[in-house]
Amino acid sequence: MMKMFRRAIGLAAIVVATAATAQPYPAKPLRLVLPYAPGGVVDFIGRTLGQRLSEQLGQPVVADNRPGAGGIIGVEATAKSAPDGYTLVLMDPAIVINPVLQDGVPYDVIKDLQAVSIVGSSPLVLASYPALPVKSVAELVAYARANPGKLNFASAGIGTTPHMAGELLKLRIGAQMAHVPYKGMGPAMADLVSGRVQFSFGSITAALPFLQDGRLRGLATTGAKRSGALPDLPTVIEAGLPGFEVDLWLGLFGPTGLPPRVLARLNAETKKAIAHPDARAAFAKVGVEPRATGPEDAAAFVRAENEKWTKVVRDAKLKGAS
């Protein structure tokens, strides 16, 4: 009798699990975590992508800004969520930079997160407060060398791509400059416009309105080629620093363990969303080049980026840099 009872319980569990697995996806709203404050490229592209996915999936995709700790708070929330496809995060290279740059980061980018797709790539823009007496990268370098410790540069937070770009500039030119981290590029731009900090590497999304109305001065962009959004600005390479290239790529992730059918659906719908003319126009407006990779290619890319930034941080001895 006991054996029959146990067998019945086991069969019931299998039926429940099978029924859950067979549920149509998505059956409820999705949460898209954006680990920075509103006003930056992650927020803009995330909301653009979320709107397209909402229409395609027939369920709301709720944008959830979770700023703090250079993106760690939002990424951790996703990594620790149920692997059911209802919590995703859009993140930039800080997702692989933070674990090697800082101690105690509560996630492993390879073990705890599953890449759905690399959504796009964008250069950063190097911009300065107009009252700073520099009009080019060369003049900024000369000023920094002549005034050690007097320049402050803003970023979206410790471990973010703008932070790393500033640290790499310090290393390349051998000048002392102070890093001032913020909870996203929106707050960073506000202090840059007011002159509380003197320059920043930031997303084109956050800087573009201030560059257009003259409240900031654009000096260069960080791509291998000029940005379509700012074609009149030289690259940092063109401006005299060979090999200085920083890519602000954007990736869509879920927690490890997403069911294969859910992962495949999310990837297919992401590709479809990015291919839509409205999305491509929105991407182009802020200088983001669409990519839309498959999950396998995305995972391989993330592993390569993890190795790349691990080497940069260790070689430059940036552990704990702020």
Is the sign of the CA dihedral 322, 205, 125, 196 positive or negative?
negative
Write the pLDDT tens digit of every residue in 7-37.
Answer: 544 444 344 334 445 679 999 999 999 998 8
CA distances 165 to 49, 97, 318, Å, are 26, 12, 12
pTM of the model: 0.79
Structure tokens at 212: 């257009």
As a whole number of angstroms, the longest Cα–Cα distance in the chain is 88
Write the pLDDT tens digit of every residue in 49-97.
Answer: 999 999 999 999 999 999 988 899 999 999 999 999 999 999 999 999 9
Write the pLDDT tens digit of every residue in 144-171.
Answer: 999 999 999 999 888 888 988 998 899 8
User: How wide is the angle at C-alpha 174 spanned by C-alphas 132 and 230, nearest 5°?
Assistant: 50
Rounded to 10 deg, the angle between the 295-315 and 260-275 helix axes is 80
Write the pLDDT tens digit of every residue in 299-322.
Answer: 999 999 899 888 878 877 887 544
